[in-house]
Amino acid sequence: MSDAFTLWALPPDTIRLLVRQSGLVGDVTARPARGTAIRRRYEALSPAEQRLARRLPDDPTVVTQAAFVQLAPERQALLLELALDEHQHHRAGSLKDKTAPPPDPIAYRLLTARNRLPAATPVEIEPYATRPETGHASRRLGLGLGQRDGTTFLELSARASYHDLLEPDAGYTPDAQIELLSVALRRYKGSDRPSLDRLTLLDITSLPPSNALTPRPAWRLHAGWAPYPRSNCPNCAAFTLSGGMGLAAETRWPWRTVWFGLPGLEFDSGNEFAGDYRVGSAILAGALLQWAAGWKLLASATWLDYRLGETGTGLRAAMSQHLALDRDLALRLDWRYLEGVHEFQLGVRAYF
Protein backbone atom coordinates (compact mmCIF):
# COMPACT_ATOMS: atom_id res chain seq x y z
CA MET A 1 0.00 0.00 0.00
CA SER A 2 2.92 2.36 0.53
CA ASP A 3 3.40 2.39 -3.26
CA ALA A 4 0.33 4.64 -3.42
CA PHE A 5 2.30 7.48 -1.76
CA THR A 6 5.34 9.33 -2.99
CA LEU A 7 7.03 11.59 -0.41
CA TRP A 8 4.77 11.27 2.64
CA ALA A 9 1.57 9.69 3.92
CA LEU A 10 -0.79 11.42 6.33
CA PRO A 11 -3.03 9.40 8.69
CA PRO A 12 -6.32 10.36 6.93
CA ASP A 13 -4.80 9.43 3.56
CA THR A 14 -3.91 5.94 4.82
CA ILE A 15 -7.47 5.45 6.11
CA ARG A 16 -8.95 6.57 2.78
CA LEU A 17 -6.75 4.03 1.03
CA LEU A 18 -7.82 1.24 3.42
CA VAL A 19 -11.52 2.03 2.97
CA ARG A 20 -11.15 1.78 -0.82
CA GLN A 21 -9.84 -1.80 -0.49
CA SER A 22 -12.64 -4.35 -0.56
CA GLY A 23 -13.04 -6.39 2.62
CA LEU A 24 -10.40 -4.68 4.76
CA VAL A 25 -12.69 -2.48 6.88
CA GLY A 26 -15.60 -3.97 8.81
CA ASP A 27 -17.65 -2.23 11.48
CA VAL A 28 -16.59 1.28 12.48
CA THR A 29 -16.87 2.26 16.14
CA ALA A 30 -16.19 5.69 17.62
CA ARG A 31 -14.18 5.62 20.86
CA PRO A 32 -14.29 9.15 22.30
CA ALA A 33 -11.49 10.30 24.55
CA ARG A 34 -12.23 11.01 28.20
CA GLY A 35 -12.02 14.74 27.55
CA THR A 36 -14.64 14.46 24.81
CA ALA A 37 -16.96 12.46 27.07
CA ILE A 38 -16.61 15.06 29.83
CA ARG A 39 -17.41 17.96 27.51
CA ARG A 40 -20.40 16.20 25.89
CA ARG A 41 -21.97 15.30 29.24
CA TYR A 42 -21.39 18.80 30.58
CA GLU A 43 -23.14 20.28 27.52
CA ALA A 44 -26.16 18.05 28.24
CA LEU A 45 -26.68 19.58 31.72
CA SER A 46 -29.00 22.40 32.67
CA PRO A 47 -27.38 25.68 33.89
CA ALA A 48 -28.15 24.76 37.52
CA GLU A 49 -26.64 21.28 37.06
CA GLN A 50 -23.57 22.79 35.40
CA ARG A 51 -22.95 24.94 38.46
CA LEU A 52 -22.99 21.81 40.62
CA ALA A 53 -20.77 19.93 38.13
CA ARG A 54 -18.08 22.60 38.41
CA ARG A 55 -17.90 22.19 42.21
CA LEU A 56 -18.27 18.42 42.62
CA PRO A 57 -14.82 17.26 41.32
CA ASP A 58 -13.08 19.07 44.20
CA ASP A 59 -15.81 19.20 46.85
CA PRO A 60 -17.76 15.96 47.52
CA THR A 61 -19.79 17.70 50.24
CA VAL A 62 -21.94 19.14 47.44
CA VAL A 63 -23.90 15.84 47.51
CA THR A 64 -25.36 16.83 50.89
CA GLN A 65 -26.57 20.26 49.78
CA ALA A 66 -30.22 21.00 48.95
CA ALA A 67 -29.57 21.91 45.29
CA PHE A 68 -28.11 18.44 44.70
CA VAL A 69 -30.48 16.41 46.91
CA GLN A 70 -33.54 17.87 45.15
CA LEU A 71 -32.45 16.47 41.78
CA ALA A 72 -33.87 13.21 40.45
CA PRO A 73 -31.65 10.21 41.36
CA GLU A 74 -30.79 9.64 37.69
CA ARG A 75 -29.50 13.22 37.36
CA GLN A 76 -27.53 12.90 40.59
CA ALA A 77 -25.88 9.78 39.19
CA LEU A 78 -25.01 11.58 35.95
CA LEU A 79 -23.41 14.45 37.88
CA LEU A 80 -21.38 12.09 40.06
CA GLU A 81 -20.10 10.12 37.05
CA LEU A 82 -19.09 13.36 35.36
CA ALA A 83 -17.37 14.59 38.53
CA LEU A 84 -15.44 11.31 38.85
CA ASP A 85 -14.24 11.48 35.24
CA GLU A 86 -13.22 15.13 35.59
CA HIS A 87 -11.44 14.53 38.90
CA GLN A 88 -9.54 11.50 37.62
CA HIS A 89 -8.73 13.25 34.33
CA HIS A 90 -6.93 16.05 36.16
CA ARG A 91 -5.37 13.73 38.72
CA ALA A 92 -3.92 11.48 36.00
CA GLY A 93 -2.07 14.46 34.55
CA SER A 94 -0.53 15.36 37.92
CA LEU A 95 0.58 11.78 38.69
CA LYS A 96 2.36 10.91 35.44
CA ASP A 97 5.76 10.49 37.13
CA LYS A 98 4.54 8.59 40.22
CA THR A 99 4.55 4.78 40.20
CA ALA A 100 2.44 4.43 43.37
CA PRO A 101 -0.31 7.08 43.49
CA PRO A 102 -1.39 8.16 46.99
CA PRO A 103 -4.92 7.47 48.30
CA ASP A 104 -7.64 9.62 46.81
CA PRO A 105 -10.26 10.48 49.44
CA ILE A 106 -12.26 12.68 47.04
CA ALA A 107 -12.68 9.87 44.49
CA TYR A 108 -13.62 7.47 47.31
CA ARG A 109 -16.40 9.77 48.55
CA LEU A 110 -17.71 10.37 45.02
CA LEU A 111 -17.73 6.62 44.30
CA THR A 112 -19.50 5.88 47.57
CA ALA A 113 -22.24 8.41 46.75
CA ARG A 114 -22.56 7.05 43.19
CA ASN A 115 -22.97 3.44 44.35
CA ARG A 116 -26.09 4.37 46.32
CA LEU A 117 -27.89 5.55 43.16
CA PRO A 118 -29.54 3.81 40.17
CA ALA A 119 -28.26 3.99 36.61
CA ALA A 120 -27.74 7.47 35.18
CA THR A 121 -29.72 8.94 32.30
CA PRO A 122 -27.69 7.90 29.21
CA VAL A 123 -25.99 10.69 27.29
CA GLU A 124 -24.91 10.11 23.70
CA ILE A 125 -21.17 10.73 23.46
CA GLU A 126 -20.67 11.88 19.89
CA PRO A 127 -17.05 12.60 18.84
CA TYR A 128 -16.34 16.17 17.77
CA ALA A 129 -14.42 14.95 14.71
CA THR A 130 -16.17 12.72 12.19
CA ARG A 131 -14.66 9.75 10.34
CA PRO A 132 -11.39 10.88 8.68
CA GLU A 133 -12.14 9.40 5.25
CA THR A 134 -15.25 11.61 4.90
CA GLY A 135 -13.18 14.81 4.68
CA HIS A 136 -11.48 16.57 1.79
CA ALA A 137 -8.10 15.33 0.54
CA SER A 138 -5.00 16.78 2.22
CA ARG A 139 -3.20 18.35 -0.77
CA ARG A 140 -4.58 21.38 -2.52
CA LEU A 141 -4.16 23.43 -5.71
CA GLY A 142 -5.72 26.85 -6.20
CA LEU A 143 -6.20 29.34 -9.03
CA GLY A 144 -7.37 32.88 -8.33
CA LEU A 145 -7.91 36.27 -9.95
CA GLY A 146 -7.73 39.50 -7.98
CA GLN A 147 -6.55 43.07 -7.53
CA ARG A 148 -4.09 44.71 -5.16
CA ASP A 149 -4.51 48.49 -5.03
CA GLY A 150 -5.97 48.49 -8.54
CA THR A 151 -3.38 46.19 -10.11
CA THR A 152 -4.80 42.92 -11.44
CA PHE A 153 -3.03 39.65 -10.67
CA LEU A 154 -3.35 35.94 -11.38
CA GLU A 155 -2.46 33.65 -8.47
CA LEU A 156 -1.42 30.00 -8.43
CA SER A 157 -1.28 28.36 -5.00
CA ALA A 158 -0.48 24.92 -3.64
CA ARG A 159 -0.47 23.26 -0.22
CA ALA A 160 1.23 20.02 0.74
CA SER A 161 -1.14 19.44 3.67
CA TYR A 162 -3.48 19.58 5.72
CA HIS A 163 -6.54 21.66 6.66
CA ASP A 164 -7.47 25.27 7.42
CA LEU A 165 -10.17 26.88 9.55
CA LEU A 166 -12.46 27.71 6.63
CA GLU A 167 -12.56 24.25 5.09
CA PRO A 168 -15.45 21.91 6.05
CA ASP A 169 -15.09 20.16 9.40
CA ALA A 170 -16.03 16.70 8.08
CA GLY A 171 -13.14 14.36 8.84
CA TYR A 172 -11.15 16.95 10.77
CA THR A 173 -11.06 18.47 14.26
CA PRO A 174 -13.41 21.47 14.35
CA ASP A 175 -12.00 24.95 14.97
CA ALA A 176 -8.43 23.84 14.28
CA GLN A 177 -5.95 24.43 11.49
CA ILE A 178 -2.67 22.79 10.50
CA GLU A 179 -1.02 23.91 7.26
CA LEU A 180 2.39 22.70 6.11
CA LEU A 181 4.32 23.93 3.06
CA SER A 182 1.80 26.25 1.45
CA VAL A 183 2.95 28.56 -1.37
CA ALA A 184 1.33 31.22 -3.56
CA LEU A 185 2.86 32.74 -6.73
CA ARG A 186 1.39 35.77 -8.52
CA ARG A 187 1.71 37.33 -11.93
CA TYR A 188 0.76 41.02 -11.82
CA LYS A 189 -0.50 42.87 -14.87
CA GLY A 190 2.41 44.53 -16.60
CA SER A 191 4.99 42.24 -15.02
CA ASP A 192 7.01 39.82 -17.14
CA ARG A 193 7.61 37.25 -14.38
CA PRO A 194 5.81 35.77 -11.36
CA SER A 195 6.60 36.82 -7.80
CA LEU A 196 6.31 35.09 -4.44
CA ASP A 197 3.35 36.35 -2.44
CA ARG A 198 3.59 33.98 0.53
CA LEU A 199 5.29 30.76 1.61
CA THR A 200 4.02 29.10 4.77
CA LEU A 201 6.33 26.63 6.46
CA LEU A 202 4.02 25.95 9.38
CA ASP A 203 0.72 27.43 10.52
CA ILE A 204 -1.15 25.94 13.48
CA THR A 205 -4.27 27.48 14.98
CA SER A 206 -6.45 25.98 17.70
CA LEU A 207 -9.69 27.71 18.76
CA PRO A 208 -11.44 25.36 21.22
CA PRO A 209 -14.47 27.14 22.71
CA SER A 210 -13.88 27.37 26.42
CA ASN A 211 -16.37 26.45 29.14
CA ALA A 212 -16.28 26.81 32.91
CA LEU A 213 -15.70 23.09 33.58
CA THR A 214 -12.88 22.45 31.09
CA PRO A 215 -11.28 25.79 30.19
CA ARG A 216 -8.71 25.44 27.39
CA PRO A 217 -6.57 28.14 25.80
CA ALA A 218 -6.80 29.14 22.16
CA TRP A 219 -3.43 29.54 20.47
CA ARG A 220 -1.64 29.96 17.17
CA LEU A 221 1.86 29.64 15.68
CA HIS A 222 3.00 30.80 12.24
CA ALA A 223 6.34 30.65 10.43
CA GLY A 224 6.98 31.59 6.81
CA TRP A 225 7.10 34.42 4.29
CA ALA A 226 4.12 36.80 4.12
CA PRO A 227 3.34 39.89 1.99
CA TYR A 228 4.44 43.28 3.38
CA PRO A 229 3.73 45.71 0.52
CA ARG A 230 5.32 49.18 0.65
CA SER A 231 4.92 52.23 -1.59
CA ASN A 232 8.36 51.58 -3.11
CA CYS A 233 7.91 47.78 -3.14
CA PRO A 234 4.25 46.81 -3.67
CA ASN A 235 4.98 43.09 -3.99
CA CYS A 236 7.53 42.64 -1.20
CA ALA A 237 7.42 39.63 1.14
CA ALA A 238 9.26 39.13 4.43
CA PHE A 239 9.95 36.26 6.78
CA THR A 240 7.65 36.32 9.79
CA LEU A 241 7.53 34.29 12.98
CA SER A 242 4.52 34.92 15.21
CA GLY A 243 2.44 33.30 17.88
CA GLY A 244 -0.15 34.01 20.50
CA MET A 245 -2.35 32.53 23.19
CA GLY A 246 -5.78 33.59 24.39
CA LEU A 247 -9.38 32.41 24.60
CA ALA A 248 -12.22 31.43 22.30
CA ALA A 249 -15.95 31.39 22.97
CA GLU A 250 -18.91 29.96 21.05
CA THR A 251 -22.37 31.35 20.32
CA ARG A 252 -25.18 29.56 18.48
CA TRP A 253 -27.48 32.38 17.34
CA PRO A 254 -28.21 33.12 14.56
CA TRP A 255 -25.36 30.86 13.31
CA ARG A 256 -22.64 28.97 15.08
CA THR A 257 -19.83 31.46 15.67
CA VAL A 258 -16.48 31.09 17.41
CA TRP A 259 -15.14 34.40 18.77
CA PHE A 260 -11.45 34.60 19.64
CA GLY A 261 -8.81 36.95 20.99
CA LEU A 262 -5.10 36.04 20.90
CA PRO A 263 -2.45 38.44 22.26
CA GLY A 264 1.05 37.50 21.19
CA LEU A 265 4.39 38.49 19.65
CA GLU A 266 5.65 38.91 16.08
CA PHE A 267 9.11 39.01 14.50
CA ASP A 268 9.55 40.16 10.88
CA SER A 269 12.77 40.08 8.89
CA GLY A 270 13.34 41.66 5.48
CA ASN A 271 15.34 44.25 3.56
CA GLU A 272 12.35 46.59 3.41
CA PHE A 273 12.48 47.24 7.17
CA ALA A 274 14.80 49.75 8.82
CA GLY A 275 17.58 47.65 10.35
CA ASP A 276 16.23 44.68 8.35
CA TYR A 277 13.84 43.56 11.11
CA ARG A 278 11.10 44.55 13.53
CA VAL A 279 9.78 42.96 16.72
CA GLY A 280 6.67 43.80 18.69
CA SER A 281 3.43 42.75 20.28
CA ALA A 282 0.34 41.70 18.34
CA ILE A 283 -3.31 41.35 19.26
CA LEU A 284 -5.42 39.17 16.95
CA ALA A 285 -9.20 39.19 17.31
CA GLY A 286 -11.91 37.80 15.10
CA ALA A 287 -14.86 35.51 14.49
CA LEU A 288 -15.39 32.26 12.59
CA LEU A 289 -18.99 31.91 11.33
CA GLN A 290 -20.48 28.72 9.96
CA TRP A 291 -23.57 29.45 7.86
CA ALA A 292 -23.86 25.87 6.60
CA ALA A 293 -21.85 22.64 6.71
CA GLY A 294 -19.81 23.70 3.66
CA TRP A 295 -19.98 27.48 3.97
CA LYS A 296 -17.85 29.46 6.43
CA LEU A 297 -16.70 33.04 6.91
CA LEU A 298 -13.61 34.15 8.85
CA ALA A 299 -13.15 37.81 9.82
CA SER A 300 -10.10 38.98 11.77
CA ALA A 301 -8.03 42.04 12.61
CA THR A 302 -4.49 42.27 14.00
CA TRP A 303 -3.11 45.32 15.82
CA LEU A 304 0.71 45.50 15.77
CA ASP A 305 3.02 47.57 17.97
CA TYR A 306 6.69 47.24 17.01
CA ARG A 307 9.25 48.33 19.62
CA LEU A 308 12.54 46.88 18.31
CA GLY A 309 14.17 47.35 14.90
CA GLU A 310 11.78 49.37 12.76
CA THR A 311 9.37 50.84 15.30
CA GLY A 312 5.78 51.90 14.79
CA THR A 313 2.26 50.52 14.72
CA GLY A 314 0.26 48.74 12.07
CA LEU A 315 -3.12 47.19 11.33
CA ARG A 316 -3.99 44.17 9.26
CA ALA A 317 -7.48 42.87 8.58
CA ALA A 318 -8.96 40.06 6.53
CA MET A 319 -12.32 38.60 5.59
CA SER A 320 -12.58 35.29 3.76
CA GLN A 321 -15.42 33.02 2.67
CA HIS A 322 -15.14 29.38 1.69
CA LEU A 323 -17.95 27.59 -0.12
CA ALA A 324 -17.55 23.84 -0.73
CA LEU A 325 -19.01 22.84 -4.10
CA ASP A 326 -18.09 19.20 -3.57
CA ARG A 327 -15.89 17.28 -1.14
CA ASP A 328 -12.74 18.14 -3.12
CA LEU A 329 -13.76 21.37 -4.86
CA ALA A 330 -14.45 24.83 -3.39
CA LEU A 331 -14.80 28.53 -4.13
CA ARG A 332 -12.81 31.05 -2.08
CA LEU A 333 -13.39 34.79 -1.70
CA ASP A 334 -10.74 36.88 0.11
CA TRP A 335 -10.37 40.53 1.10
CA ARG A 336 -7.27 41.74 2.93
CA TYR A 337 -5.98 45.02 4.31
CA LEU A 338 -2.20 44.98 4.71
CA GLU A 339 -1.07 48.06 6.65
CA GLY A 340 -2.49 50.50 4.08
CA VAL A 341 -2.89 48.25 1.03
CA HIS A 342 -6.20 46.66 -0.01
CA GLU A 343 -6.57 43.51 -2.07
CA PHE A 344 -9.45 41.34 -3.26
CA GLN A 345 -9.40 37.84 -4.78
CA LEU A 346 -11.82 35.20 -6.07
CA GLY A 347 -10.55 31.73 -6.73
CA VAL A 348 -11.23 28.01 -7.02
CA ARG A 349 -9.51 25.28 -5.01
CA ALA A 350 -9.18 21.60 -5.79
CA TYR A 351 -8.05 18.87 -3.36
CA PHE A 352 -6.29 15.65 -4.23
How many whole angstroms separate alpha carbon 106 and alpha carbon 104?
6
Residues 125-161 have pLDDT tens digits of 888 888 888 999 989 999 999 999 999 999 999 999 9
Q: N- to C-terminal Cα distance for the chain?
A: 17
pLDDT value at residue 94: 66
Residue 93 has pLDDT above 70, yes or no: no
Burial-class residue 123 by CB neighbours within 10 Å (0-12, 13-18, 19+).
middle
Claim: this prediction has a pTM higher than 0.85: yes
Which has more pLDDT, 290 or 101?
290
Asked if residues 323 and 292 have their Cβ atoms less than 8 Å apart, the reply is no
Which pLDDT value is given to residue 164? 97
User: Which pLDDT does position 264 carry in this prediction?
Assistant: 98
Per-residue pLDDT tens for 42-74? 988 999 999 999 999 999 999 999 999 999 999
pLDDT tens for each residue of 157-211: 999 999 999 999 999 999 999 999 999 999 999 888 999 999 999 999 999 999 8
The domain made up of 140-351 has a fold known as: Porin (2.40.160)
Q: To 10 degrees, the CA torsion angle through 170, 171, 177, 183? A: -100
Q: Please give the mean pLDDT across all residues of the chain.
A: 92
